[in-house]
Each structure stands twice: as C-alpha cells, then as structure tokens.
A = this chain, B = another copy of it.
Amino acid sequence: MRDAYHEELDSIGDGLVEMARLVGSAIGRATTALLDADLNVAESVIAADEKVDEIQRDLENRAIALLARQQPVATDLRIVVTSLRMSADLERSGDLARHVAKLARLRFPESAVPRDLHSTILEMGQLAQRLVAKAGEVIISKDVDDALQLEADDDRMDELHRTLFQHLLDDRWKHGIETAVDVTLVGRYYERFADHAVSVAKRVVYLVTGEHADEIAPASPPPVAEGA
C-alpha cells in the first residue's frame, strides 16, 4: 500500500507541475496577445484556462481520495494538504493570465498597452513566466534555497510595478483615463500572478523546514498598488 501511496503522491506532484507549465505558457501567450493585439492568441489563452481548472478539480479529488484511502499522517499528510493549497494558487494564476488575455481581446485591434510601456509589460510577463517555471521546479526539487530565491526574484516584479505607476502618474501621461485603467489592472494581474508563484515556493519551504518562509527570508516590500 505504501508504494501505491507514494505513486499516487508523485502523480499529484506531476499534476501540479503540469499546472505550473500550463499557466506559465498562458501568461507568456497572454502577454503576446496584449502587446501584439493578437486576438487569436488571446482566445486560445481564454479557452485553455478550462484545462487548468479541470486539472485542479482532478487533483483535489485525488488528494481527497488519497487521504481517505491511505490516511497519511505527519509529513505525508502535510504534503497532501499543501498540494491542495498549491493547486489553488496555480488555478488562480491561470485566471489571472485569462484576465490579461480578456483585456487584450477587449481592446482588439488596438493594444491595451501604449508603446512606451511595452518593454515594462514585456518584462513583467517574462518574469511572471520565469517565476511560475521556478515554482514548478521547486515543487519537484524541494530545494529550499531555490524556493527562497523566488521571493527575491519577485522583488523585481515590485520594481516593475513601481515603474508602471511612475509612468501612470507622470504629468506627461498622454494616453488618457481608459488606458490608465487598463494599465493599472494589467499591472495588478502580473503582480498577483507573481505572488501566487511565490506562495507556492513558500509552501515548499514550509513543507521542508516546518517554518514559514517569512521567518527565514524577509518578505518582499508590499507593491505600490496596495497603497503601502
């Protein structure tokens, strides 16, 4: 039974990694759709999110079945419960990629993002994609240093978010209110996407060390958008 148990546990881990892969691809393509005003890519991201939701429901059911059949205790139990939490983070990340794609669709054939912000948004998109890829890796490796590194990488997202706000609040902003609203929301979506990747990494740290990541590494500064 223990073998069957560990096989099942591994397959839940594989499901999480697959979710991380899918949402990483989704945020990358959503960024393309947003900057290139590519309607087809936007539609594909919106449609693909259903798959992420499916995997999450499946993982939840399998985790519950595992708890019922194998009744794990101690660390094994914590791993299963933590997997449920990670799947929720990744599912939400998929929603955020979908929001970016929906905004691209809403503004088509225009880009919702003005030219002079493309490089900042592109970097936010690429960073978000890297963060969730790293999160997928630490789910497998359980490497605490790599997991903590993710939080440091997220500081860059906060910097980019501040850069976005500096543009928005610059007297020379000439793109009007609607674009300011779009850019505000897009910035928020990328920042939250990154937060969920960091959250996944923190749960790995907690699993391995029994300590919450914040007790080990200082948390990244709160983003401007939260009025901090």
29 contacts between A and B (CB under 8 A): A63-B81, A64-B78, A64-B81, A67-B81, A68-B73, A81-B81, A84-B84, A84-B85, A85-B88, A88-B88, A99-B226, A99-B227, A102-B226, A103-B226, A106-B227, A106-B228, A112-B227, A168-B178, A169-B178, A169-B181, A173-B177, A177-B177, A177-B180, A180-B181, A180-B184, A181-B184, A184-B184, A185-B227, A188-B188
Contacts of A225 in B (CB 8 A): 185
Q: Does A216 contact B (CB under 8 A)?
A: no
Known: A102-B226, A180-B181. A77 touches B84 (CB 8 A): no
A182 to chain B, nearest CB (A): 8
How far apart sit A168 and B181, CA to CA, in the bound complex (Å)? Answer: 8
Contacts of A29 in B (CB 8 A): none
Query: Which of A112, A169, A184, A188 gathers most chain B CB within 10 Å?
Result: A184
- Please report the total number of A residues contacting B with Cβ < 8 Å: 39
Q: Taking CB as reference atom, which chain B residue is nearest A186? A: B227
Q: Does A11 contact B (CB under 8 A)?
A: no
